[in-house]
Structure 1
C-alpha cells in the first residue's frame, strides 16, 4: 500500500485511490475531505499517475489553498497548483494577456464601493454607503450568474433599496464605463476575462490544457455558473476531474453558488464514481444526532455517524430560553466562564450567530466575566499593526548575535513592544494587542529546538503568505458564514429564534432551506459539546426557531421550562418549509 493511504479509512481510501475521473466525493462535516484530497494527489504522484506540475487543486479561499499546499508539502509533494478560482484565472490572465493583447493586463479594482460612488456622482445619484454596498453585491451576483445588465434588470425588478431597477441598471452601466475608462477589472471580471480569453484564443486554451491535466475542486457545492464555465474551459473534453463537497453546507446561494453542479454530477457523468464519506471524525454522536435531524429529508443530505465513542463526558446538547438578548449574552458568558474554570482552553470555545449585530452584546457580557474574545472576520492576524511591528522588530533582531536563547530573545523583543507577564483587563484594543503578541511568543515556544530568529521570522512570513494564522488564547465569536470550514471543541449557538435564524427576510422555501443549512453548519462546528439558545427579545415578541421543533426532544435537552414546549410542538410543513409527501409546500 502507498504510504499516503496508510491513515485512511475504507471509504477515504476508496476515494483516494480513484485516480482517474470523473470522481465525486460527497463528504459530510468532519469526514476528512481535505485529508482525502491531499492524500489522493499524493498517491497519484507516488504511483506515477500524476506529475505534480500538471495538477490543479481549486478551492474557495486563499487560506484553504495555503493549508492544502502545506499538507501536500508534509506528504512530500511540491509543485501542485493549489489555488482559488480567482488566483488561477488571474495568473493565466497575467501570463497570456501581453501575448494576446500586446499590452500589460489591466489593474484590479481595489475598492468596488468607492468606484461605484464615483460612478453614482457621474450620473447625479447621491447614495449612502450601505446602498452602494448592496449595488456592489448586485453586480457580483449578476456577473457570477452570467447575466447581462438587461437580464439582471428583468430578473430583479424590485431594484436595490430605494433605487428602482432602472436606476440600478443605469448605475451598473456607469460603473462599467468608468471601469473601462480607467482600464481596470473587478474581482468577477477576472473570471469573465479569463473565460473569454480561453473561448476566443485557441492557442491559449491549448496551452492551459497542456499544462493542467488533472483537476480537483473542493467545496463544489459553492461553485457558481461562472466558475463552472471556467472549469469546463480548463477541462475541454477531458474527464480527469474530482469534485468534493457537501450539499448540506451550501450557504452562499445568495452569492451565486449553485449546488446542482454537485447534486447532478452523476447525471452529467453517468459513469462517475461516487464515494460517500459519512463517518465524522469531529463531532460527538449526540451532536451528529442533532445535525441529522435538522437535515432529515433534504436533497443530498448525508446521514453522519461518529467514528467512535471517544473519551470523556459527552452531555446531550441543550437548548435554553432567555427573556431577552442581554440575559442570553450573560447566560452564555456564564456558561463559558464555567467551562474555563473546568480547564477548557479558550481557543477551543466559540459563540456562533447569524448576524454581526449580535456580537456587541456578547462581547460586553464576556468582558464583564473577564473573558477575552476575538471576533472572526476582522483584520487578519498578520495584518494587525502590532503583529507587523513585531515581525519587523524580530527580523531586525535576527541580524545580530543572540545574547540569550531563542525563546528568550523573542520574549525580549516582544517585551520591548509592550508584552507584559500579566494580561490587561479583557475587552478593548489593549487586550487584543497583548493577545496577538502572546500568540507570537507561543509560536516561538512551540518551535523546534535549535530554531534561530532568522528561521523563525522566515516561518512567520511564510505563514502570513499562506494565511496560516496562530490561534490566540481567546474565545471566538463568529457569524455562521465565517465559521464554515472551522471547528471547536465547545460551541454555543445563539439566537435560534424566528427572525434571527431563520432570518426575517427568508420567506421562500429555498431561502428557509438556506437558513437551515446555516444552522447545520453551526451545529457541526462542535466537536464535544453544543449548547443552543434563544431569547424572547426586548419586547417579548420572539418565538423559538422552527428548527428547534424539527430537531425535537430526542436530541435536545431543554434547560429552561419555557423552552420545553418548543420541542413538543411540531409546526406544519407550511411553517417549516419542509415539503409534503408530494414534494410541495402547502
Structure 2
C-alpha cells in the first residue's frame, strides 16, 4: 500500500473521491461507505428527486425511502394502502396520498410531507443548495438528526453540509442528481492497487509509504467540538502513519476564511520542508521521527 489520504472526519472524503474519479485514479475507502452511499446522502437526494418531479412514477423509489423518515406512521399496512391507491389511479405514490385510506394522524403527516415536497421548489428563486437545506428542515429530517444521541450524529450532519456545499456548484436539481448517479456507478468494489482513504481514527496500526493529510485547519483539525489533548494524540497518529513521506495541506477558504491548524506550529521547522501551496512536506525518516516527537508527550 503506497498511498493513503487520511482525514479527520468522513465528510471530507467527498472532494477527494470526486477528484480521484475525474482523474481515473482507483481508490478504496477503508471502513466507511463512499460519500453517495451514505444513508443521509441517499435520503437527502431522495427528497430532491421527489421534489424535482413529484408527478413522475420514477420518484416512487425515492418516496418509499423517505416517507417514514422521520416516522410518520407509514408502516407496512399504510404503505400497502398507498401502493394500492397508486395502482388503482395510475398515479405516483406521492399523489396517491391524497385519496388513500389512511388513519387520520398518518394521513395528516403524509399530506404535510407531500405539501413540502411539492411546493418548496416553487416558493421563491431557490438555488439547489437552498432547496436541499429547506427540504431537510421542512421534512423534519435535520431536526431528527440533531435530536439523536448516536455517536455518528455530527458526522452525518457534516455530510449533509458537504452535500449542500457541493449543490452550490450545480444549476439545477437534475444536474446534481445525474452527477450523483454517475459518481455512484463509477465505484468499483475491487480493493487492490488503490489509493487508500480513511479517517485518522481508522488509520491506527496501519502504515503507508506516502501519506497525505489534508484539511489541517483550525476548526477542522482540531474540530471546534474536540478535546485538544485527544486531537493532539490523533496528530501524532497521523504523522506516524507515513513510512517515507507525509504531506500536510490546508486551504485558505472553507465556508469562509480558514486558518492553519495550530498543530502545524508544533512541528519543528528543521523536521519539515515547505512545498507547493505552502504545504509542509515531511520526507525523510529522520524528519518524520522529529515531527512526531513534537506530539510524543500526548500519546
TM tier relative to shorter chain: 0.3 to 0.5
| Larger RCO (alpha carbons 8 Å, 6+ apart) | 2
Normalized against structure 2, the TM-score is what? 0.41
Normalized against structure 1, the TM-score is what? 0.21
Computing the radius of gyration over CA atoms, which structure comes out larger, 1 or 2? 1
